[in-house]
Structure 1
Amino acid sequence: MPHEFPPWEAVYQQTQRWLQAGCFEAMVNDLRSVLRAAQGQ
């Protein structure tokens, strides 16, 4: 990782918290809605 990023352990821990909280699933669902709206569905 670039040196300006936090240590990989900190990035990993934060990513795990987001995964457990369902953040990525929510982003995928929101993106799907945006794409469907853009396609006129």
Structure 2
Amino acid sequence: MERELNYLSITVALSSLAEQYFSIRVKILYYRFQLYKQVY
């Protein structure tokens, strides 16, 4: 039981990290796109 709980918490932590990373990437891409639109 203890190990399963540990595994679950690790999985949750990893998924939230991936979510944050993805949202940051999207923001960077969006920001670059806005800059690109302004230049041209």
Gaps of 5+ in 2: 1-11
Secondary structure of 1:25's partner?
Answer: helix
Pick the structure with more helix per residue: 2
Aligned residue pairs total 26
Query: Which residue of 2 is the match for residue 32 of structure 1?
Result: 31
**Structural RMSD (CA):** 2.4
Q: Higher Cα Rg: structure 1 or 2?
A: 2
More RCO (CA 8 Å, sep 6+): 1
State the percentage of identical aligned residues: 8
Which 4+ stretches in 1 moved above 6 angstroms?
Answer: none
TM-score by length of 1: 0.51
